[in-house]
């Protein structure tokens, strides 16, 4: 029996591609550039499985016409870039890669918090451009982190890992909002306590870190009203999904001093980042590095291998979304 035909939309770690090549009839996007909607539609018509990333947009229109694909093995945890309802209607299974990127994403959130609080990005830019005039008592004063309160929106795996770093590494108080109730004893393991609303968390926190899913339910969760509800002088950290933040409202809040700064790893229209954000000194911007370690990206790819292999062998899928 011929091997299932598999299409990978971007280049993945070599070890993962090698396993796919051994098990399946593999086609790679060797140019490693984002595919147009028409190219994704053609892939769905030609291949038994398509393996997209979080940067591939798969709206309803991509699924129009005859579709051969039976499984989308998504490289990433988030899947709001895929029209799940249409995939389901077409009988397509969707999987993701939870669990394996928890620590690295929490590390990036911690990097952003420290960098924006201590003005690390500003300092490096000043030094590299030769503008640093030497040490003095009033130079580039930042914000102390130890002992401050961090508010977490979304207390899943990554939210908990971030809380652990903040509380046990920096002696920070942790408050959080989560849609479902978290057992108080479980929360206490991370030095955290649950509050009843997003607004309560915002009012209490010196730093607010987003760890909630993207998509319609949380679209622009952080808007003008919620920025106004933050403590004066507070900072926003986002390593979740870009559409959780209204970027225009964030720019206004930063410009008028409603909040003091922000650290961002994700954006609404990646790779586009608004010029106003790129010009601001009180913002630390990273190019979606949350899972960008060799160990994590390989583990993510192997998660997809496990899911796709299980699908074509007729076994239960470890990480089925639809």
270 is catalytic: yes
Question: Pairing mode, if any, of strands 261-264 and 192-194?
Answer: unpaired
CB 155 within 8 A of CB 178: yes
- Residue among 10, 193, 270, 320 flagged as catalytic: 270
How many residues are listed for the chain in this entry?
A: 322
E-strand spans in 130-255? 149-153, 173-177, 192-194, 207-210, 235-238
288 is catalytic: yes
Q: What angle do CA 93, 94, 97 make, to 5 degrees?
A: 140
**Which residue's entry shows tokens 């030095």?**
191
**Which residue's entry shows tokens 């608004």?**
274
Among residues 11, 104, 96, the alpha carbon closest in space to that of 306 is found at 96
E-strand spans in 79-124? 93-95
**Under DSSP, is residue 81 helix (H, G, I), strand (E, B) or coil?**
coil
E-strand spans in the chain? 5-8, 25-28, 49-51, 71-73, 93-95, 149-153, 173-177, 192-194, 207-210, 235-238, 261-264, 283-285
- Residue among 241, 247, 260, 297 flagged as catalytic: 241
- Residue among 10, 220, 288, 320 flagged as catalytic: 288
211 is catalytic: no
Interatomic CA distance for residues 125 and 226, integer angstroms: 31
CB 92 within 8 A of CB 69: yes
Annotated active-site positions, please? Answer: 241, 270, 288
């Amino acid at each position: 029996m011929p091997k299932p035909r598999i299409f990978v939309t971007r280049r993945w770690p070599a070890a993962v591609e090698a396993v796919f090549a051994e098990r399946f009839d593999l086609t790679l996007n060797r140019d490693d550039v984002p595919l147009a909607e028409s190219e994704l539609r053609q892939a769905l018509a030609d291949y038994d499985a398509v393996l997209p990333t979080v940067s591939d947009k798969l709206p309803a229109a991509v699924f129009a016409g005859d579709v051969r694909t039976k499984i989308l093995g998504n490289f990433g945890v988030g899947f709001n870039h895929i029209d799940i309802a249409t995939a389901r209607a077409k009988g397509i299974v969707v999987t993701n890669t939870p669990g394996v990127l928890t620590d690295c994403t929490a590390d990036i959130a911690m990097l952003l918090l420290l960098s924006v609080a201590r003005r690390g990005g500003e300092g490096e830019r000043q030094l590299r451009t030769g503008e640093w005039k030497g040490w003095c008592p009033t130079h580039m004063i930042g914000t102390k982190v130890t002992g401050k309160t961090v508010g977490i929106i979304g207390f899943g795996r990554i939210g908990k890992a971030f809380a652990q770093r903040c509380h046990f590494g920096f002696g920070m108080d942790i408050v959080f909002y989560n849609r479902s109730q978290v057992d108080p004893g479980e929360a206490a393991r991370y030095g955290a306590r649950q509050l009843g609303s997003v607004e309560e968390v915002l009012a209490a926190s010196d730093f607010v870190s987003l760890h909630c899913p993207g998509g319609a339910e949380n679209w622009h969760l952080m808007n003008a009203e919620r920025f106004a509800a933050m403590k004066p002088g507070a900072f926003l950290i986002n390593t979740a999904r870009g559409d959780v933040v209204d970027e225009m409202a964030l720019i206004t809040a930063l410009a008028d001093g409603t909040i003091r700064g922000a650290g961002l790893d994700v954006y609404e229209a990646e790779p586009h980042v608004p010029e106003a954000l790129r010009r601001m000194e009180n913002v630390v911007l990273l190019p979606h590095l949350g899972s960008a370690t060799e160990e994590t990206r390989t583990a993510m790819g192997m998660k997809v291998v496990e899911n796709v292999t299980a699908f074509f062998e007729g076994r239960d899928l470890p990480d089925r979304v639809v």
